[in-house]
């Protein structure tokens, strides 16, 4: 398919994992993709994969916790590809594992600053451009941990992702009348480095999923990417403020 031919798409956290899979999926359907993150080498690997498959992409480093960086990132996408039609805010971190009273204050601040303030700043600058240039679509990557379910020893991450889900809905209501359509996806464990426990192999993760997930497996990165593409596509034109859970039934 070519649902996004000629569209300018920005994906944060695109150097690895789900962000890379999302960028590849958009490029495969004709989009011009700006891939963003903090590590240039990883972003260049994503660009190389896209170009090898015949797509078009450009890398831009940015720290989403810094407003000036995000403003420059949006400007770079606009300058490189003539506009900004779609943004996917995927960048995030998972730190501070353990009981709440043992969570370090620095870890807490880093998680909230990256996962919540980073999404706020990204949307702030993306919306500012889109509402003045015919609208657009934004998809935030939240998590099934947060608004949908909780587990022990991840209070900082769970708090941050619950906030992303709520922030998505609030922003969707604020800006749909300006032509900016905002939604979220909330993956559970999915292919990628963030779903691997310390010392765990992919085979270990697959075995664990057989007993933990009703479906008996984790989602593929491509399955999550396809959900993002749907929410960004014209077929989802009436989908506003949705938080789509993709977690093999874990939060059902």
Q: Just list the catalytic residues.
A: 157
Backbone angles phi, psi at 144, to 5 degrees: -70, -25
Q: CA–CA distance from 105 to each of 111, 112, 164, 238 (Å)?
A: 10, 11, 20, 41
d(CA 67, CA 63): 8
Strand partners, 36: 12, 60
Residue 111, helix vs strand vs coil: helix
| Strand-pair category, 32-37 with 8-12 | parallel
Q: CA–CA distance from 112 to each of 99, 118, 122, 179, 203 (Å)?
A: 17, 8, 14, 28, 31
Ramachandran assignment for 248, one of left (phi > 0), alpha (psi -120 to 50 degrees), beta (any other): left
Helix (H) / strand (E) containing 34: strand 32-37
Ramachandran assignment for 213, one of left (phi > 0), alpha (psi -120 to 50 degrees), beta (any other): beta
Would you state the torsion angle of the CA atoms of residues 141, 188, 30, 34, taken in this order, to the nearest 10 degrees? 40
Buried b (16+ CB within 10 A) or exposed e, 100-115: eeebeeebbebbbbbb
Would you state the torsion angle of the CA atoms of residues 82, 83, 85, 91, taken in this order, to the nearest 10 degrees? 100
């Amino acid at each position: 398919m070519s649902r996004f031919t000629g569209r300018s798409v920005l994906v944060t956290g695109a150097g690895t994992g789900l962000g890379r899979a999302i960028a590849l999926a958009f490029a495969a359907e004709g989009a011009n993709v700006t891939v963003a993150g903090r590590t240039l080498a990883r972003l260049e690997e994503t660009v190389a994969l896209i170009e090898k498959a015949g797509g078009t992409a450009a890398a831009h480093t940015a720290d989403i916790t810094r407003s000036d960086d995000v403003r420059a990132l949006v400007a770079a996408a606009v300058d490189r590809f003539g506009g900004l039609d779609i943004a996917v805010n995927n960048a995030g971190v998972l730190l501070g594992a353990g009981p709440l009273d043992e969570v370090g204050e620095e870890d807490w601040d880093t998680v909230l600053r990256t996962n919540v303030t980073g999404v706020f700043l990204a949307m702030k600058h993306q919306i500012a451009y889109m509402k003045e240039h015919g609208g657009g679509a934004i998809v935030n990557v939240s998590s099934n941990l947060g608004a949908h379910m909780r587990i022990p020893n991840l209070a900082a991450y769970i708090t941050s992702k619950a906030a992303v889900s709520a922030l998505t809905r609030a922003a969707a209501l604020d800006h749909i009348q300006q032509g900016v359509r905002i939604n979220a996806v909330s993956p559970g464990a999915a292919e990628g480095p963030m779903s691997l426990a310390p010392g765990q192999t992919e085979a270990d993760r697959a075995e664990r999923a057989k007993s933990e997930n009703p479906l008996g497996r984790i989602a593929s990165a491509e399955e999550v990417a396809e959900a993002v593409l749907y929410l960004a596509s014209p077929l989802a034109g009436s989908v506003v403020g949705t938080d789509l859970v993709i977690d093999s039934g874990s939060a059902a």
